């Protein structure tokens, strides 16, 4: 069993990570990897925290950086399962098409620049703090990225 897309991971000073945020089917073998990516981003962000008043901005930065990628992995794992069952009509049981599907999606999970992901999160956090966003009454849209996730996730895209 997996989760449908979570509309947000963070609200004020509370956040979710790992399977609580993005439980995926086991077919992509990447759920724990995604939990570790969450943890490294949060760890990197906390290294840059200067006061408790910045925690909401910190969790917003985490949400906006990590949600699109981790939600896409939920979709990829679902599609791997369908592919294993020959249940994606455009791939069927064609080995070349299946190989190409696995290669493309394994590249998404395995070839990511995770240092850049950490760095992007820290830059976004600093931007949110500088603009006084992500704090109580701030202007951050917690749903930012949801459409992007939905748009990104297409079998064979």
Ligand X SMILES: Cc1cc2nc3c(=O)[nH]c(=O)nc-3n(C[C@H](O)[C@H](O)[C@H](O)COP(=O)(O)OP(=O)(O)OC[C@H]3O[C@@H](n4cnc5c(N)ncnc54)[C@H](O)[C@@H]3O)c2cc1C
Binding site for ligand X (CB under 6 A): 18-19, 26, 29-33, 35
Nearer to ligand X, 24 or 149 (CB): 24
User: How many Å apart are CA 99 and CA 25, to the nearest integer?
Assistant: 20
Q: Phi/psi at 153 (nearest 5 deg)? A: -90, 100
In the complex, what is the shortest distance from the CB of residue 55 to ligand X, in angstroms, rounded to a whole number? 21
* C-beta of residue 117 within 8 angstroms of C-beta of residue 41: yes
Nearer to ligand X, 7 or 26 (CB): 26
Residue 6's SS3 state is: coil
Nearer to ligand X, 2 or 152 (CB): 2
* C-beta of residue 100 within 8 angstroms of C-beta of residue 106: no
Closest CA to 154 of 85, 91, 67, 84: 91
Nearer to ligand X, 18 or 81 (CB): 18
In the complex, what is the shortest distance from the CB of residue 129 to ligand X, in angstroms, rounded to a whole number? 27
Nearer to ligand X, 72 or 135 (CB): 72
* C-beta of residue 128 within 8 angstroms of C-beta of residue 62: no
In the complex, what is the shortest distance from the CB of residue 32 to ligand X, in angstroms, rounded to a whole number? 3
Residues ≥6 apart with Cβ < 8 Å to 31: 18, 19, 22, 23, 24, 73, 77
In the complex, what is the shortest distance from the CB of residue 36 to ligand X, in angstroms, rounded to a whole number? 8
In the complex, what is the shortest distance from the CB of residue 76 to ligand X, in angstroms, rounded to a whole number? 12
């Amino acid at each position: 069993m997996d989760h449908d897309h979570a509309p947000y991971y963070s609200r004020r000073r509370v956040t979710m990570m790992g399977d609580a945020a993005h439980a995926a089917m086991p077919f992509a073998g990447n759920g724990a990897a995604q939990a570790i990516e969450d943890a490294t981003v949060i760890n990197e962000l906390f290294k840059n925290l200067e006061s408790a008043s910045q925690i909401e901005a910190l969790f917003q930065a985490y949400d906006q950086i990590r949600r699109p990628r981790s939600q896409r992995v939920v979709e990829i794992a679902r599609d791997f399962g369908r592919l294993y069952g020959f249940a994606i009509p455009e791939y069927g049981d064609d080995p070349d098409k299946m190989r190409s599907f696995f290669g493309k999606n394994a590249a998404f999970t395995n070839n990511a620049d995770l240092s850049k992901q950490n760095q992007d999160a820290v830059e976004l956090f600093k931007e949110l703090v500088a603009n006084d966003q992500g704090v109580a009454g701030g202007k951050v849209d917690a749903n930012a990225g949801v459409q992007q996730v939905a748009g990104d996730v297409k079998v064979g895209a």
